[in-house]
Amino acid sequence: MRIPRRQANQKKAIPGDDLIFVKVREALSFGGCPICWLANRAAQRFLDGFLYERVNDPGARKEFLTSRGFCLHHAWALQQFYDAFGVAIVYRHLLQELLQELRLFAERTPISGFRRDARESAARLRSALLPKRACPACEVARSTEETALAALLERLNDLEVQERLSTTSWLCLPHFQMGVAIAREATQIRRLAQIQVEVLQNIVGSLGEFIRKHDYRFSHEPITEEEATSWAQAIQMVVGRDPMEVRIRRR
């Protein structure tokens, strides 16, 4: 007997945006800014994949050379993978290219000239050495930020999301501003702002208590965990999470 198609395919496929929100929901359980957490993890996974299987990939190598390697944060994040061999391969290639640029500049630059000639030479050298594109890991992080924020904005009416965003988890100011910029409805911006006001009030209140209890007159009062970590929350609120905070296991 032939099974009707509707009965044979009882398992409903999860749309792509729902899969993204599953990750956002998971990140909301870790406290702090969930978008930072997801972006940092995406960048770490990209770096792991780059060292693990793309060091000798021509396309990946071209991206790496064009961006002049990784940015400060992501370059030093390579240490966690303990793959000195892979790092040595790609950075030797990069340094060889930089060395070639400098040699060409030294050979073509006259030993004497006017101040204007010196400025033009310096500009040409800077242009030759500067990156021609953004850090590849930063690009991955940026794409993750945008898709995760879009998924979060679509669920702002969810009471569970609102509660988590105003208590243990919250958007740092950079991601709050990004969320406002990509919001498609005025109601999303208003809701986001209302939640952010509540979060800022809580952090400011905890900072105030932390400062007050350092006064000798109130030093007998115990400092709560929330108050003790309020200074770190304040930093995270203004600039985002520590990009080196997330660590992933090497495959």
- Is the pLDDT at 17 greater than 90? The verdict is no
- Is the pLDDT at 205 greater than 80? The verdict is yes
If one counts every other C-beta atom within 10 angstroms of the C-beta of residue 78, the result is: 21
Q: What is the pTM of this model?
A: 0.83
pLDDT of residue 13: 44
Could you state, in order of their start, the residue ranges of all structural domains in the chain?
Answer: 16-239
Best CA proximity match to 243, nearest among 71, 81, 90:
71
- Is the pLDDT at 12 greater than 50? The verdict is no
Q: Are 166 and 198 in contact (CB under 8 A)?
A: yes
pLDDT of residue 63: 95
Helices 173-182, 186-212: inter-axial angle, 10-degree rounding: 170
Higher pLDDT, 228 or 14: 228
Segment 185-212 shows an average pLDDT of 95
- Is the pLDDT at 4 greater than 50? The verdict is no
Best CA proximity match to 147, nearest among 23, 2, 8, 4:
23
Residue pLDDT, tens place only, 38-71: 999 999 999 999 999 999 999 999 999 999 999 9
- Is the pLDDT at 111 greater than 50? The verdict is yes
Task: Report the percent of the chain where pLDDT is more than 70.
Answer: 88
pLDDT band at 112, cuts 50/70/90? low
Segment 80-97 shows an average pLDDT of 94
pLDDT of residue 106: 79
Least reliable range by pLDDT among 53-62, 111-120, 223-232: 111-120
Segment 116-144 shows an average pLDDT of 87
